[in-house]
C-alpha cells in the first residue's frame, strides 16, 4: 500500500494514537505518520481541517477522508481491511462486552492518570483509589473475556487489549515518578501477566513509549497545567 493512501495525525505520547498504531500494525498497513506538536502549540492546519469539532488526535486520513476518535478508527480499520487477523470479536455479545469495558476505561482510567500528574501529593490518594478499583474490575473482566487465553481478545490481541494496553506507558511513568506501584500481582495477578505479554507482542513492541521519556513529558505538562490553573 502506498503511504499516500493512509495518513495518521498523532503524537508519540498519546495512548489514543497508540491504539491506532497497534491496529495498523496488526493489519500490516503502511501509513504516513504526521506528528503534531506535543503541546499543540500551534495545532496544524491539517488537524484543524480534519477534526474541526474537537481538533484532537488521532485522526486517520484514508484517501483524503478523515476518521476521528481512537476506537472508532480502530473499528474502521478492522472493517475496511477485514482480512484476518480480526480485531473486534466475531460474536455479537463478545463485541458488546468489549465495547462496554472500553467505555469504562475511557471514562475512568486515563482521566484519573492525568489528574494524578497535575495534583499535589496529598491530593493523589482518592485518585489512586480509583485506579485500584478500575484494576479490580478489569481483572475480573480479563478472566471473563479471555476465557483462559492470553489476551482479552483470546489467543491474539483484540479490541479491548488495544484500548487498555495503550495506557501502559503512562501507567509506568506515574509509577516511576511517584514511587508507587499500581499494577501489582497481589491485586491483579492476571493483568500483570497480561501486560507483560501485551508489551512484548510483535504488534505492540516499540510502540509503547519508553517510561523515562513519558516521565519527562509529564513533568513538562504538570508545569504547564499548573501555570494555566494559576492564571484562572
CATH number at residue 96: 1.20.1050.10
pLDDT score, position 83: 86
Domain presence at residue 184: yes
Residues 200 and 115 in one domain: yes
Domain presence at residue 225: no
pLDDT in tens, 116-167: 988 889 999 999 999 999 999 999 999 999 999 999 999 999 999 999 999 9
CATH number at residue 41: 3.40.30.10
pLDDT score, position 2: 44
pLDDT score, position 166: 98
Domain count, the chain: 2
Residues 71 and 102 in one domain: no
pLDDT score, position 84: 81
Domain presence at residue 140: yes
Low-confidence spans in the chain with pLDDT less than 50:
1-2, 231-232
Of 56, 80, 104, the last residue of a domain is 80
Residues 97 and 76 in one domain: no
Say what the pTM is: 0.94
Residues 68 and 127 in one domain: no
pLDDT score, position 224: 75
Range of the domain at 71: 3-80
Domain presence at residue 55: yes
Residues 102 and 188 in one domain: yes
Residue linked to cell 481541517: 49
Q: Which three cell numbers stand for residue 18?
A: 497508540
pLDDT score, position 40: 55
Residues 102 and 196 in one domain: yes
Amino acid at each position: 500500500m502506498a503511504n499516500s493512501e493512509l495518513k495518521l495525525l498523532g503524537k508519540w505520547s498519546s495512548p489514543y494514537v497508540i491504539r491506532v498504531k497497534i491496529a495498523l500494525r496488526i493489519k500490516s498497513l503502511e501509513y504516513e505518520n504526521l506528528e503534531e506538536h506535543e503541546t499543540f502549540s500551534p495545532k496544524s492546519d491539517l488537524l484543524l481541517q480534519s477534526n474541526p469539532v474537537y481538533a484532537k488526535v488521532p485522526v486517520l486520513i484514508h484517501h483524503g477522508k478523515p476518521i476521528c476518535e481512537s476506537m472508532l478508527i480502530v473499528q474502521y480499520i478492522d472493517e475496511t481491511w477485514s482480512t484476518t487477523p480480526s480485531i473486534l470479536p466475531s460474536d455479537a455479545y463478545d463485541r458488546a462486552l468489549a465495547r462496554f469495558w472500553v467505555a469504562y476505561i475511557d471514562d475512568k482510567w486515563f482521566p484519573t492518570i492525568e489528574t494524578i500528574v497535575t495534583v499535589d501529593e496529598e491530593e493523589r490518594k482518592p485518585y489512586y483509589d480509583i485506579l485500584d478499583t478500575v484494576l479490580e474490575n478489569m481483572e475480573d473482566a480479563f478472566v471473563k473475556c479471555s476465557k483462559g487465553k492470553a489476551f482479552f481478545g483470546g489467543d491474539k490481541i483484540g479490541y479491548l487489549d488495544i484500548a487498555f494496553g495503550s495506557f501502559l506507558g503512562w501507567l509506568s511513568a506515574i509509577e516511576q515518578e511517584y514511587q508507587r506501584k499500581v499494577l501489582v500481582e497481589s491485586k491483579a495477578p492476571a493483568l500483570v501477566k497480561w501486560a507483560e505479554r501485551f508489551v512484548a507482542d510483535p504488534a505492540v513492541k516499540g510502540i509503547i513509549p519508553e517510561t523515562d521519556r513519558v516521565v519527562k513529558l509529564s513533568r513538562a505538562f504538570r508545569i504547564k497545567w499548573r501555570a494555566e490553573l494559576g492564571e484562572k
